[in-house]
Structure 1
């Protein structure tokens, strides 16, 4: 093994100046925590000055967060580090040459999941920008979720081609996948264990040095770059599988006329040594950037593997099947809507639908790949009218998002709850009835937000995910 990189890093000294490419849900909190550490001198956040996202530069340099959900502590931390002069956002990628370490937090969607072809265009551009200004002794870390073997192949090749340097000899290269969820970004980075995988020991050790200072309760778990890539894609795939299991159980409970939440509580009650019965929550669908595509990164990694896969012949991957179940839930929400309207002798065509919640997760503005979108498409294709309310999402392509829930609900034939924003938990049947002006208004609950009996007793036609005990209730006349 060559000791060239180890000697270069020893001569360079500790990491003091860090860059983060990608000022989004991952990059912003990461940059803020790096800048808040007394181990590091300065942090640069890199953001293209584009028409769609260039506004973030001034906001961040003024200590303001462009993330518009509830993100505890982030705004205060950004103000602190900008006032201290420890953080700066810039569109000037040539300043990468100033750094000791740089991380890339760039989205990696799939252009065509069926063909297992990811869209690495933005990531490749980011890696090329790093390669152009790469200097000996720098550490490059991919935080983006990627197909296993990407760090060792694509990233390495681009960096070496652009810089003329050799990974593992002249510079360090690693994968340290993000493990955050919106609404708890800072806490997740500090408290979750950090997976760190370098292409060699020197790269791994340098990446451990980078991430250790920002951890409070979490610890660093070192491994190879490919193992780190598999860890990230697999943990999201497992979560998607668990959600799919809960969603399938909810569909079963509806078919059998029972309450899935009773069953869930019963399953969850079995605890003790050697017993693991963790069960997640069913709902209107799975959204976000990660769970909707990381299964396909894992599947693609198998295709690129060094050995043939030994698996039951002609059997579908249980992970891909789980994706299909979760993708079906917005369709099920549509089916519940149609069935509920039929109970009051209404057709979906021409019906007025009020959708509450566009973001894929509660109390957040994260609207990446929301399950609300396929539902919207089905509703409009069926000839219904649709109004959408979300208190956090500011805009979305080709969707008018209302900020007044009363305006959204007014005159509606059906109110459909897609996101568990906290304000929806205080919905009152008398208020909705006054706004709709209908004797019987349909209400579809995709997140177990409301008490069915209160609405049923007020004359509503109710249907909810997993509520087989209530979905065929008698209609109460008021």
Structure 2
């Protein structure tokens, strides 16, 4: 199989024209970096001209980024490559036939985590669009985080059915998962090592050719397609597990009346040969597109595995349990809020809560699956009036997000901090108390943003994640 494919690839020559399907947090910076590489002549970004996201096409073709969080260098790079004629965004998927390589960076959420049923609808649509326009010698790379086995299973089957071509014989197919974090997209793509897994050696080699020119510090790590899929889902699952571990420790410390940050500093201080203490930071919950669902992709991959899993009988997966702990943290924020109000003789019903921070990560506009949402829902269900402030998030379905902080905190009984935006670290108790205008103001800190003693001395009732010494 590889011998036939290799001959076709050799006849086609080096990769010159690239397509990127999905103009989001992964696809936009990837397309810009491909376009900026001297080895490539042209990059097409493919975006559906839909009511919800069609606006991106004109913005990108004008060199403007539709991502409005802090993304150093991205808009300048987009302007550079569009002005040079090396990047263009289009809704015409038939132009895929012009290309040497196509990457797909399309979200893969879970419709039902309990039943391990992913929502591959958007990804399948993208794969079908590629398959309909696939030509011999092209490289197709899935960058989306996917259930292990998807590249050599569903994706391969769809591409072959739509094109009439054979993967590994007529075209190359690989998985090269994205490894980016909002706020540092360009840096991550260039400096992180790139996992590349083809369905055969020729596919892997062709994918290595595609990604090598955009790397600065990062190196290529080749492996099989399925191993690459497991690598991505497992690294996010491990991070989620680490967060859950420190979140559970924070709950323990609250119960024992001590400060989790003291304990964390003590644990982190033990260093030396053979010692690893990768302890993260506790918080009000985990959000975003990746960590909230990649555990389920990994679990589903095991269910679809080639042999039966050998594991303690009737025991929960520690990874799924970690997901439950992190999903619980907004509920704990709700409890802290309730307890604080009760300490000043108030109830949730009828109280005003100023919720600071809707994005799931600091100084970003990324509001995918934010822990702020379940917290807000619990408050509203309890009869609270909730106003939301976020300096970066422009809009969110069915949620009014204010930019005027004074308007949000005015007459608020509670200020609840759900995101560690830089501006919130500048909050002063005297100014905030005056703006709130209530006799016994409450601050509930989900991100260790405010100094407890300073706010308590300033007349606030304080509650914080893991702060058993102050709650």
Shared fold (TM-score, shorter chain, > 0.5): yes
Return the alpha-carbon distance in structure 1 between the equivalents of residues 266 and 206 of structure 2.
47
Match of 1:13 in 2: 13
Q: State the shift of 1:6 in Å.
A: 0.2
State the match for 2:215 in structure 1.
215
The residue matched to 2:67 in structure 1 has which SS?
coil
- Conserved? CA contact 2:176–2:228, under 8 Å: yes
User: 217-226 or 436-445: which moved more?
Assistant: 436-445
Shift of 1:401: 0.2
Alpha-carbon contact 2:2-2:200 (below 8 Å) kept: no
Q: Deviation per CA, 1:304-347, whole angstroms, max 9, x where unpaired?
A: 00010000000000000000000000000000000000000001
Aligned to 2:59: 59
Structure 2 CA distance, aligned partners of 1:3 and 1:459?
75
Partner of 1:474: none
**1:68-217 → structure 2 map (5 Å cutoff):** 68-217=68-217
* 2:390 paired residue number: 390
* Deviation of 1:431 (Å): 1.0
Return the offset for 1:117: 0.3
SS at match of 1:265: helix
Where 2:328 maps in the other structure, the secondary structure is helix
Looking at structure 1, the residues matched to 56 and 392 of structure 2 have their Cα atoms a distance apart, in angstroms, of 17
Q: How far is 1:49 from its partner?
A: 0.4
Distance in structure 2 (CA, Å) of the matches to 1:433 and 1:391: 20
Unpaired segments ≥5 residues, structure 2: none
Moved over 6 A (4+): none
Counterpart-to-counterpart distance in 1, 2:385 and 2:177: 42
Root-mean-square deviation (CA, aligned residues, Å) is 0.5
**1:316-355 aligned within 5 A:** 316-355=316-355
Q: CA deviation at 1:432?
A: 1.0
The residue that corresponds to 2:295 in the other structure is 295
Deviation for aligned residue 1:232: 0.3
CA distance in 2, matches of 1:100, 1:404: 49
SS in 2 for 1:365: coil
Matched, 1:282 2:282: yes
- String of CA shifts for 1:364-417, please: whole Å, max 9, x gaps: 000000000000110000000000000000000000000011110000000000
Alignment deviations for residues 253-300 of structure 1 (CA, whole Å, 9 cap, x no partner): 111111111111111111111110010110000000000000000000
Match of 1:39 in 2: 39
- Structure 1 Cα separation of the partners of residues 13 and 56 of structure 2: 32
**C-alpha contact 2:31 2:43 (8 A) present in aligned 1:** yes
Task: Give the TM-score, by structure 2 length.
Answer: 1.00
In structure 1, what is the equivalent of residue 237 of structure 2?
237
Instruction: Identify the residue that residue 475 of structure 1 maps to in structure 2.
Output: none
Aligned-partner Cα distance in 2 for 1:430–1:255:
30
Match of 1:402 in 2: 402
Kindly indicate whether the alpha-carbon contact (under 8 Å) linking 2:2 and 2:201 is maintained by their aligned counterparts in 1.
no
2:258, 2:467 within 8 Å by CA — same for their partners in 1?
yes
Say whether the 8 Å CA contact 2:2–2:202 is kept in structure 1: no
Give the secondary structure class of the aligned counterpart of 1:229. helix
Distance 2:149 2:458 in 1: 57
Per the alignment, in what secondary structure is the counterpart of residue 470 of structure 2? Answer: coil
SS at 1:366 equivalent: coil
Q: Residue 369 of structure 1 aligns to a residue in which SS?
A: coil
2:278 equivalent to 1:266: no
Provide Cα deviations, 1:8-29, integer angstroms capped at 9, x if missing partner: 0001000000000000000000
Q: Secondary structure at the match of 1:3?
A: helix
Structure 1 residue 2, shift from structure 2 partner: 4.4
What does the per-residue CA deviation read over 1:77-118, in whole Å, with 9 as the maximum and x for residues that have no partner? 001101111000000000000000000000000000000000
2:421 is aligned with 1:421: yes
How many Å separate the matches in 2 of 1:137 and 1:31?
Answer: 21
